[in-house]
Amino acid sequence: MVERVLLASPRGFCAGVERAVETVEQALDLYGAPVYVRKQIIHNIHVVRDLEARGAIFVEEETEVPEGATIVYSAHGVAPSVHANSARLQHKVLDATCPLVTKVHVQARRFAAAGYTVVLIGHAGHEEVVGTMGEAPESTVLVQDVAEAEALELPEAARAAYITQTTLSVDETVEIIGVLRRRFPEIVGPRKEDICYATSNRQWAVKEMLSEIDMLLVIGSRNSSNSNRLVDVAHAHGVAAHLIDDESEIDARWFEGMRTVGVTSGASAPERLVVGVCEWFRQRGVERIEPFQMASEDVTFRLPVELRRELALAEARP
Ligand code: SF4
């Protein structure tokens, strides 16, 4: 019988997600529905459904959006070809790419322009990886894990540079970079690693909590990379973990023989989902629901410049 629930902190929304969601909300207020959004603005099904109810239309590709319409690019970033398509279709673009993803795009461009082969550490098919690879597709190779780093073949004369997706496992990435450095001693990388503050803080908080819990619940959607990595952190240390979208996916049988359950949430999961999970435990007699705080975060990002400009104009109108 579960006696105690520990709530990891930091958890939940990061600055890039807050900014992306607010961009869509403000665009809906400013222009009215519909506002088109390319891909899920963030990887959380609840947030997507809420925005849909307010008039956002989610599309897979910018080419599906009518000429002249307003389109918001998701927090995960886009390839230059997406900007080109929107320019051709005269879209009003609000780019909600997280500034920390943009930083990785800039690195990819700079390394490629300087003649480096760019080794991108990340997961194939993830939107962020697709966007980053699009910066210099001819010069970029993807490495997904240690085995691929070991097998990587580079032309003899190639100068190589590595960059990483922002939402990877901190520990696994250190290992992959270690392999690349051993195999290609001349390889260069960014001054500071690309895994973002939110991803590393949430993994760190979970890691510190593992010795006190019997099981971890991670609130987040299946396509959320950083949420999946939180599950991986628990598994890597031999602690059972489940990824759930909300409390409706909890199976009471998971907790047989368990006393303390840890709860965290990915960077794209709103806090109300954590409240729902806590309520699930409360209704089953768990009284001890306690915070497990490792750090506090005070990062904020300003809204996209094009939206700020439009908001300022709207405010100045008589
Ligand atoms: Fe930005 Fe990190 Fe949040 Fe992704 S998880 S939106 S990179 S702060």
**Annotated domain spans of the chain:** 4-13+197-291, 15-97+301-316, 100-183
Residue by residue, DSSP assigns 80-101 as HHHHHHHHHTT-EEEE---HHH
The verdict on the CB of residue 16 being under 6 Å from ligand 1 is yes
From the candidates 128, 135, 193, 247, give the one annotated as an active-site residue. Answer: 128
Residue 128 annotated as catalytic: yes
201 C-beta closer than 6 A to ligand 1:
no
- The ligand 1 atom at the shortest distance from the C-alpha of residue 196 is 2
Q: Is the pLDDT of residue 134 over 80?
A: yes
Higher pLDDT, 89 or 193: 89
Residue 100 has a pLDDT of 98
158 pLDDT above the threshold of 90: no
pLDDT at 318 over 80: no
- CA–CA distance, 120 with 173 (Å, rounded to integer): 11
Task: For residues 12-24, give the mean pLDDT.
Answer: 98
Does pLDDT of 197 surpass 80? yes
The domain 4-13+197-291 is placed in CATH, from the list 3.40.50.300, 3.30.70.20, 3.40.1010.20, 3.40.630.30, at 3.40.1010.20
CA dihedral 230, 236, 237, 243 (to 10 degrees): 40
User: Mean pLDDT throughout 97-108?
Assistant: 98
The whole-number pLDDT of residue 193 equals 79
Nearest CA to ligand 1 atom 2: 196
The CATH class of the 100-183 domain is alpha beta
4-13+197-291 and 15-97+301-316 agree in CATH topology: no
Ligand 1 centroid distance, CA of 181 (Å): 26
CA distance 268 to 18: 9
Pick the closest to residue 199 from 90, 297, 316, 53 (CA basis). 297
The closest of 229, 128, 218 to 173, measured between CA atoms, is 229
Output the pLDDT for position 120. Answer: 98
For residue 181, give the 3-state DSSP assignment.
Answer: helix
The Cα–Cα gap between 263 and 8 comes to 6
Measured in Å, residue 26 CA sits from the centre of ligand 1 at: 20
Region for 12 from its dihedrals, namely left if φ exceeds 0, alpha if ψ lies in -120 to 50, beta otherwise: left
Supply the pLDDT for residue 191.
84
List pLDDT tens digits, range 250-309. 999 999 999 999 999 999 999 999 999 999 999 999 999 999 998 899 999 999 999 999
Q: Which atom of ligand 1 is nearest to the CA of 98?
A: 1
Write down the CATH number for the domain with range 15-97+301-316: 3.40.50.11270
What integer best gives the mean pLDDT of the chain?
Answer: 96
42-80 pLDDT tens trace? 999 999 999 999 999 999 999 999 999 999 999 999 999
**pLDDT of 91 over the 80 cut:** yes
- Nearest-angstrom CA–CA distance, 277 and 204: 22
**pLDDT at residue 104 is higher than 80:** yes
Instruction: Summarize pLDDT for 175-191 with one digit per residue, the tens.
Output: 999 999 999 999 999 98
189 lines ligand 1 (CB under 6 A): no
What does the pLDDT read at residue 294?
87
